[in-house]
């Protein structure tokens, strides 16, 4: 009940801001800004591990963004497939004899930097496998611009996504240390030439649940958290950062998943400890489309990894919780994440077991069990409806009436199995953490062309 009350409060903040977001998006034209020298330059960092199927499409998409000055740095993180080879072949890349790495942040030594003067804004770093954080750090060391943007190699940015973020940055450049973008599920969409041409919901069950989940988390949650400057994560799939501050906090933390949450916690800590005015913002109109896992095995691996990363971050930064020095982060975000995110599955299980136990022991009756179960489900469903409302008010990405019906249906269905699996995966992630199991797990990719073919035939 408490968790739902907090959710509702955050949702209220999201509602308070949604019309400003809608108007900002609707009444801003980017044609002048996207050709202006006044827009800050950005280095796009794209860590890639075994991404041979999607990386070409993604790099092409990134090279054609509406943005005045930027560079794309792909970091091949010791892929065992042909990621590097396909990149070299497609873009005619050759190794630079003396690549200039700035070594601002500790990272593994690189093998080579590839470049082709015909694509002056594309660089590919080849390095031994060291994880996503290490790749991002290597990218920062090569980057030439004051802003960096991390982008997953399995994601597609909308053409205006970067300029929308830059506009938000330019509204308050001194205080903005990081901006998160909205991540949406591309499964089921029609993709042509590295861009989403037709938005549609996924046809398969697992991505569909994730589509509902992402809508709730990004629109219902992150808009509200960012309104009170309590955002704890900028998705690794798409975020923009001020490079000087990322370097000041020592870059990304390697060795564990959850580096996207970790860097934001470190930024909050650094800014608050140094009494600097700052904001971690969320820009929902800057959209990045990502391939969601479409099988149980891959999804469970991903969620276990998230569970491990979350626990590690909470343990590393437990001192911030309930500490007024860290303001909203210390008094709300961290306690909320420790109690209601990391420990949530344990509360759920113990609560459920207690209720079942009371019923079996005849200390209470089935009616109470049903009533509290219903309250839990209905209040959760109400939150999902709130998130769909935000979508409908400001973005309207899914145009068909049947899409709305499906979203409503899956928002209800997720309480019967999917939500419980989420708790189970999180606990399994915690067990992996305690066992020091730190593998990334299996992650298979589908080519965007395959995705698109499937969308066309549907």
Is 356 or 378 the residue whose CB approaches another protein more closely? 378
Is 331 or 369 the residue whose CB approaches another protein more closely? 369
Tell the smallest beta-carbon distance from residue 49 to another protein (Å): 20
Crossing angle of helices 259-273/296-316, nearest 10°? 20
CA 315 – CA 36 distance, rounded (Å): 44
Helix (H, G, I), strand (E, B) or coil at 407: helix
Is 400 or 453 the residue whose CB approaches another protein more closely? 400
Tell the smallest beta-carbon distance from residue 24 to another protein (Å): 4
Match 């590097």 to its residue by tokens: 84
Using alpha carbons only, give the angle 7, 269, 312 rounded to the nearest 5 degrees.
70
Is 248 or 413 the residue whose CB approaches another protein more closely? 248
Write out the residues near another protein by the rule CB under 8 A.
19-20, 23-24, 27-29, 32-33, 36-40, 96-104, 106-110, 117, 140-141, 143, 167-168, 170-174, 243-244, 247-248, 367-368, 371-372, 374-375, 378-379, 381-382, 385-386, 388-389, 392-393, 396, 399, 401, 404, 408
Residue in 111, 125, 102 with CA at minimum distance from that of residue 246: 102
Tell the smallest beta-carbon distance from residue 22 to another protein (Å): 9
- Tokens representing 41 are 């330059």
Tell the smallest beta-carbon distance from residue 239 to another protein (Å): 19
Tell the smallest beta-carbon distance from residue 270 to another protein (Å): 14
* Spatial contact of 237 and 214, defined as CB atoms under 8 Å apart: no
Is 101 or 349 the residue whose CB approaches another protein more closely? 101
Is 33 or 55 the residue whose CB approaches another protein more closely? 33
Kindly give the pairing relationship between strand 279-290 and strand 238-242: unpaired
C-alpha to C-alpha distances, 105 to 85, 110, 134, 317, 345, nearest whole angstrom: 27, 13, 9, 21, 36
Tell the smallest beta-carbon distance from residue 386 to another protein (Å): 8
Is 107 or 189 the residue whose CB approaches another protein more closely? 107
Is 1 or 458 the residue whose CB approaches another protein more closely? 1
Tell the smallest beta-carbon distance from residue 37 to another protein (Å): 6
Tell the smallest beta-carbon distance from residue 361 to another protein (Å): 16
For every residue of 285-323, DSSP letters joined together read: EEEEEEPPP-SHHHHHHHHHHHHHHHHHHHHHTGGGTT-
Kindly give the pairing relationship between strand 94-95 and strand 112-115: antiparallel
Kind and range of the H or E element at 450?
helix 448-457
b/e code 115-139 from CB counts within 10 Å (16+ = b): beeebeebbbbbbeebbbbbbbbbb
- Tokens representing 274 are 């140094």
């Amino acid at each position: 009940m408490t968790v739902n009350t907090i959710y509702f409060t955050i949702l209220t903040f999201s509602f308070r801001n949604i019309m400003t977001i809608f108007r900002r998006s609707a009444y801003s034209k980017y044609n002048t800004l996207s050709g202006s020298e006044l827009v800050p330059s950005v280095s796009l960092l794209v860590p890639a591990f075994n991404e041979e199927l999607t990386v070409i499409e993604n790099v092409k998409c990134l090279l054609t963004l509406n943005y005045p000055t930027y560079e794309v740095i792909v970091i091949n993180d010791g892929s065992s497939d042909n990621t590097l080879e396909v990149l070299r072949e497609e873009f005619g890349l050759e190794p630079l004899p003396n690549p200039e790495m700035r070594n601002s942040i500790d990272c593994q030594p690189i093998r080579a930097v590839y470049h082709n003067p015909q694509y002056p804004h594309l660089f590919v770093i080849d390095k031994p496998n060291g994880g996503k954080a290490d790749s991002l750090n290597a990218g920062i060391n090569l980057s030439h611009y004051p802003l960096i943007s991390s982008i997953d190699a399995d994601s597609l940015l909308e053409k205006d996504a970067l300029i929308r973020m830059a506009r938000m940055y330019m509204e308050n450049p001194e205080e903005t240390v990081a901006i998160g973008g909205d991540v949406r599920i591309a499964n089921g969409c029609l993709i042509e030439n590295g861009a989403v041409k037709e938005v549609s919901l996924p046809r398969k069950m697992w991505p569909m649940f994730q589509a509902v989940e992402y809508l709730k988390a990004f629109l219902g949650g992150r808009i509200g958290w960012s309104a009170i400057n309590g955002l704890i994560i900028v998705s690794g799939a798409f975020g923009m950062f001020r490079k000087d501050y990322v370097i000041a906090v020592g870059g990304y933390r390697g060795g564990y998943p959850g580096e996207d949450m970790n860097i934001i916690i470190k930024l909050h800590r650094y800014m608050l400890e140094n009494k600097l005015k700052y904001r971690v913002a969320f820009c929902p109109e800057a959209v990045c489309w990502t391939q969601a896992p479409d099988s149980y095995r891959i999804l469970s691996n991903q969620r276990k990894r998230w569970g491990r990363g979350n626990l590690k971050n909470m343990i590393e930064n437990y001192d911030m919780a309930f500490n007024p020095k860290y303001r909203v982060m210390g008094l709300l975000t961290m306690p909320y994440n420790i109690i209601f995110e990391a420990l949530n599955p344990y509360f759920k299980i113990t609560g459920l077991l207690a209720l079942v136990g009371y019923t079996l022991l005849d200390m209470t009756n089935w009616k109470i069990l049903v009533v509290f179960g219903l309250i839990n489900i209905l209040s959760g469903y109400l939150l999902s409806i709130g998130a769909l409302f935000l979508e409908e008010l400001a973005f309207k990405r899914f145009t068909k009436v049947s899409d709305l019906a499906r979203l409503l249906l899956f928002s209800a269905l997720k309480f019967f199995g999917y939500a419980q699996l989420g708790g189970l995966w999180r606990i399994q992630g915690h067990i992996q953490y305690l066992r020091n199991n730190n593998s990334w797990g299996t992650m298979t990719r589908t080519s965007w062309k395959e995705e698109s073919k499937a969308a066309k035939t549907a």
